[in-house]
A = this chain, B = another copy of it.
Amino acid sequence: MDNRPIGFLDSGVGGLTVVRELIRQLPQEEVVYVGDSARAPYGPRPAEQIREFTWQLVRFLLTKNVKMIVIACNTATAIVWEEIKEKLDIPVIGVILPGAGAAIKASQTGRIGVIGTPMTIQSDIYREKIQFLAPQIEVISLACPRFAPLVESNEINSSLAKKVVYESLAPLAEAELDTLVLGCTHYPLLGALIQRVMGSNVSLIDSGAECVRDISVLLNYFQLNRSWSAGSSRHQFYTTASAKSFQDIAESWLKQTIDVEHVDL
């Protein structure tokens, strides 16, 4: 048993989709979350800057005595997960391998779509990981640069959101996918819209939700679960931008009241 919290980092609020799944699947665990909304989205930034920002978030989490770090951001995972995992002596989990594995499991036809930020799609890491595991699978990738900013500005159900989602996904209409990876942790907040555009025959893979299975596997394997006798969880949330607007999105998504502090990195 290990009663320390699990650290989550994201470019902004997207990683909250992972936290929501964690709270549902592993309700006794405690979360320290840091979102870099002041500099979100990471997707269009150069790789070296993403690397530097992500390490800043990691160092911040380490000051909070975390037992594990979850890089709840596909872009950061694509660029710097392996390096961070190498350097730290606690487990470090990214969101890409879990999403890739779940997509392979879900797909019957072997035609898998991936949507993500420009950097994630440009890195081609989903194709690499999916075909590393199962080379017969065809991967069709599409960058959706307008999705994460919609979510960061809490425009999840607006008519603008509908328009953007319809327009952005149009290139996939003829792709004959049976599975679509939401390769950015912001996208599950647009999940209902995306499902409507793609049709009910396409399975959406929430890379963040899948990542909670990995968290659970490694907590079990390394015997790091938090004990129930440690009392109820007190999650901590930090953002580099406005605490108020982070709190609005987080409370509506997590369906609970939370405390948010602003932090300068």
Contact = CB atoms under 8 A, between A and B. Distances in A.
Interface stretch (A11-19, A22-30, A56-64, A171-179): A22-30
A218 interface: yes
Identical chains bound together, number: 2
A253 interface: no
Interface in A88-102: 91, 97-98, 101-102
A247 to B, nearest CB: 26
A104 interface: yes
A203 interface: no
B213 A101 contact: yes
B101 A133 contact: no
Contact of A134 (B27, B101, B104, B218): B27
A67 to B, nearest CB: 15
B217 A25 contact: no
Interface of A is mostly: helix
B28 A228 contact: no
A25 B105 contact: yes
Interface size class of A (residues with CB under 8 A): 20 to 34
A214 interface: yes
A225 B105 contact: no
A135 B220 CA distance: 16
Contacts of A213: 101-102, 105, 213, 217
A154 interface: no
A236 interface: no
A64 B101 CA distance: 27
Given A25-B101, A25-B104, A104-B25, A132 B217 contact: no
A216 interface: yes
27 contacts: A25-B101, A25-B104, A25-B105, A25-B134, A26-B133, A27-B134, A27-B136, A28-B133, A28-B134, A28-B135, A91-B221, A97-B217, A97-B220, A101-B213, A101-B216, A101-B217, A105-B212, A132-B228, A133-B216, A133-B225, A135-B228, A213-B213, A213-B217, A214-B217, A217-B217, A217-B218, A218-B221
Given A25-B133, A25-B134, 17 more contacts: A24-B105, A25-B104, A26-B133, A26-B134, A27-B134, A27-B136, A28-B134, A91-B221, A101-B217, A101-B220, A132-B225, A132-B228, A133-B216, A135-B228, A213-B213, A217-B218, A218-B221
